[in-house]
Amino acid sequence: MQQTILVFAECRDGQLRRVAFEALQAARVLAGSDGSVHALLCASSAARDNLAKALAARGADVVHIADATQPSSSPAEYIHAALSAATDLIKPQTVLMGHTALGRELAPRLAAAKGAGHIADATAMEIDSTGEGVSFIRPIYAGKAFEHRRFQTNELRIVTIRPNNFPAAEASDSAEADSCTIQTLAFEPPTLHTIISEVVRRANGQMDLSEADVVVAGGRGVRSADGFKPLQELADALGGAVGASRAACDAGYCDYALQIGQTGKVVTPTLYIACGISGAIQHLAGMSQSRTIIAINKDPDAPIFSVADYGIVGDLFEVVPILTEEILKLKAASS
């Protein structure tokens, strides 16, 4: 398979998001040994050089830099204009980006503007034996089933990939990075129709749930906002993030920014620890694809145990501190 692939390398707070590296790795596979991978970077002048080098080190053949001194006020409109210009310039067969809040807005915009096909929320891909056809796999019916979708034409194709499902591209040696071409993208800034006046974040500065390798989530069983403190300590010990079920959010124990489930965020961490979560189907829709699931609940008949790889029947306020203590001991012993 020989293709030209364009990756939108999404940034947040001046840093490349992990899903950008995951998209680069997927692009490298799609492009084949003789194809080319282009990356579009929208960044301010202060950060662009280091970010472009990071993309080059992880497999981008060409990095196109679009000035991003303005998009903080209206990122989707501004970045869509840059992405559209890059698509017209490069004429890729496929455009890849993360299935993030920004990616979910940009992908259908670009597909509609270019008359392209669009597959959203892919968690895997399969290349057929001929090396020419590729199927993208995505969950449906709240993760109860999976569908294989492929494009029927060779026209432009837009694909978003779910974070934490594809391997991230590793940094290569300097020689390969030096072969990458870094150039400025010329495009016409759009007339802005929307302005973002303020972004309020309420997740206590923790990493994005969708990109965390470890998630410790609490449900109604945490009983109060203070009940999340031992969960936060466990998450800190594991280098992870704290999430919650809708029941915990509705009860006012935590902010809705932490909600995981069908009406919240979908996460696929390497390790998911459910504490005091009964396992309603709406919650399972947001975390059932996690690599390893540990459930802690006093009720041995809680539905969460049906999807758990390991289950602990007990009081989370007794079990979680013990887990945290043992993990800290192991870390101290290995350091």
pLDDT at position 49 is 86
38, 6 contact by CB (below 8 A): yes
Strands (E), 1-103: 4-9, 11-12, 15-16, 36-43, 62-67, 94-98
Q: Do the domains at 4-184 and 209-334 have one common CATH topology?
A: yes
pLDDT at position 70 is 60
pLDDT at position 283 is 96
pLDDT tens profile 229-271 = 999 999 999 999 999 999 999 999 999 999 999 999 999 999 9
pTM (two decimals)? 0.87
Which run of H or E residues covers position 136?
strand 134-140
pLDDT at position 8 is 97
Identify the segments of the chain with pLDDT beneath 50.
Answer: none
- How far is residue 206's CA from residue 77's CA, in Å, rounded to a whole number? 27
Nearest to 64 by CA among 46, 29, 32, 90: 90
pLDDT at position 90 is 96
23, 56 contact by CB (below 8 A): no
pLDDT at position 7 is 98
Residue 159 dihedral angles phi and psi, to the nearest 5°: -135, 135
* Domain 209-334 CATH assignment equals 3.40.50.1220: yes
Q: Where along the chain do its domains lie?
A: 4-184, 209-334
Q: Is the dihedral of CA 79, 154, 36, 181 positive or negative?
A: negative
pLDDT at position 281 is 92
pLDDT at position 191 is 83
39, 64 contact by CB (below 8 A): yes
Which residue shows structure tokens 């840093």? 15
What is the assigned CATH class of domain 4-184? alpha beta
